[in-house]
A = this chain, B = another copy of it.
Amino acid sequence: MNTFGKIFRLTTFGESHGEAVGGVVDGMPAGIAIDAEFVQRQLDRRRPGQSLLTTARKEADRVEFLSGIFEGKTTGHPIGFIVRNENQHSQDYENMRDVFRPSHADYTYSQKYGVRDHRGGGRSSARETICRVVGGALAMLCLRQLGISVEAYTQQVGHIALPGDYTDYDLSQRELNPVRCPDAKVAEQMGELIWQVKGEGDTIGGVIACVVKGCPVGLGDPSFGKLHALLGAAMLSINAVKGFEYGRGFQGLHERGSQQNDCFIPDGQGGITTSSNRSGGIQGGISNGRDIYFRVAFKPVATLLMEQTTVDKAGNATTLRARGRHDACVLPRAVPIVEAMTAMVLLDCYLRNKTISL
């Protein structure tokens, strides 16, 4: 299943070293002005080679829209798009044709499908996330009109964590440093750690936090389609993600109900709000109008520039050392992916909500 969403639906295709990656966005509302520069800017945030901290691969990653847009506006018809693969060094992977890279999808894909495109991980490559960023950027064009913002940032790299929560920072600052952490000083420490780990041929993971502001009350469904379940599934579908929590998550386990409950209070304008937001903006699976916030754990990249023991297709023990250009830490480039997936979930829920009443 390479389709995501119910009403706003993204279908993706493409392998790392094939002709192109691309997709189809179906269910995009009609009449939305396409800000092509904005879409490309999101891709640029995901692009390799942005800084010394990321892989040195140089890929332009230019998106080409093929349909669904007429005279600058969406028509309500499916938007097909492709991003050509360029600058691939397939020979970097020739030694992986018959060998399974540890903690990669090589073995499971081989067993599941009986065939495998070994070049750059094929379908399992994070290049697939390009399509998510395009879909997410289109969703954001809608959310912008609705006054909903989505901001993710690097909150932790290895043992270095941002001490405060999102309310303590000016999140726009995250774009001023290559790590995408809103605190310049902590960002520098994180960058140094990544640089050090990279030098050792090793890799490191961390946490991306995400905040949604301006979300209306009512998004999400009561049972299987709870808003946080949809967000969690979206995050866990991103390469290297190992955990998801929202509100107090795993962090408030020692707290009592009386400490976690958010009491309702008049908002002073005839409406209702809560005196605290430990719920993370979602109650009973449905957004309550407060900020939605959640955290996403990323494991260290599996590709190491050091020798690892493994096994070849014939079942013989062997060793493997990756060649080529790889990220030592994916978090800086994963920030726009987290935002993109979040945007698609929110827009999908928003559109579905319109069908609740006649």
Please tell me if the beta carbons of A261 and B355 are within 8 angstroms of each other in the complex: no
* Beta-carbon contact of A358 and B142 below 8 Å: yes
Q: Which residue of chain B has the shortest Cβ distance to A316 in the bound complex?
A: B266
Q: Nearest chain B CB to A171's CB is how many angstroms away?
A: 21
B111 touches A202 (CB 8 A): no
Given known A115-B70, A297-B245, A317-B266, contact A23–B24 (CB-CB < 8 A):
yes
Tell whether, in the assembled complex, residue B66 and residue A19 are in contact, meaning their CB atoms are under 8 Å apart: yes
Q: Least Cβ distance of A104 to chain B in Å?
A: 6
Interface residues of A in 162-190 (CB under 8 A from B): none
* CB < 8 Å neighbour of A263 from B31, B233, B265, B310: B310
Complex contacts, A52 vs chain B, CB 8 Å? none
CB-CB nearest in chain B for A121 = B284
Instruction: Say yes or no: A229 contacts B218, CB within 8 Å.
Output: no
Q: Which of chain B's residues have a CB closer than 8 A to the CB of A283?
A: 103-105, 107-108
Known: A3-B3, A79-B13. A315 touches B67 (CB 8 A): no
Contact of A225 among B1, B9, B100 (CB under 8 A): B1
* A60: Cβ under 8 A from any B Cβ: no
Complex-state Cα separation, A103 to B258, whole angstroms: 10
Tell yes or no: A237 within 8 A of B by CB: yes
Q: Which residues of B contact A24 (CB under 8 A)?
A: 2, 11-13, 23-24
Residues in B whose Cβ lies below 8 Å from that of A309: 263-265, 275
A residues contacting the other copy or chain, number (CB 8 A):
153
- Interface core residue of A30, A79, A102, A112 (most chain B CB under 10 Å): A112
Interface residues of A in 295-337 (CB under 8 A from B): 295, 297, 299-304, 306, 308-311, 315-317
In the complex the two chains form, what is the Cα distance from A271 to B232 in whole Å?
Answer: 34
Chain B residues with CB under 8 Å of A246's CB are: 242-243
Q: Which of A56-75 contact B (CB under 8 A)?
A: 64-68, 70, 73-75
Known: A67-B18, A297-B253, A302-B261. A224 touches B2 (CB 8 A): yes
- A203 surroundings in chain B (CB, below 8 A): 256-258
B7 in contact with A26 (CB, 8 Å): no
Are A243 and B249 in contact (CB-based, < 8 A)? yes
Contact B232 A244 (CB under 8 A): yes
Given A13-B24, A29-B356, A108-B286, 8 new contacts (CB under 8 A): A1-B224, A3-B9, A19-B67, A105-B284, A107-B283, A109-B286, A205-B252, A266-B315
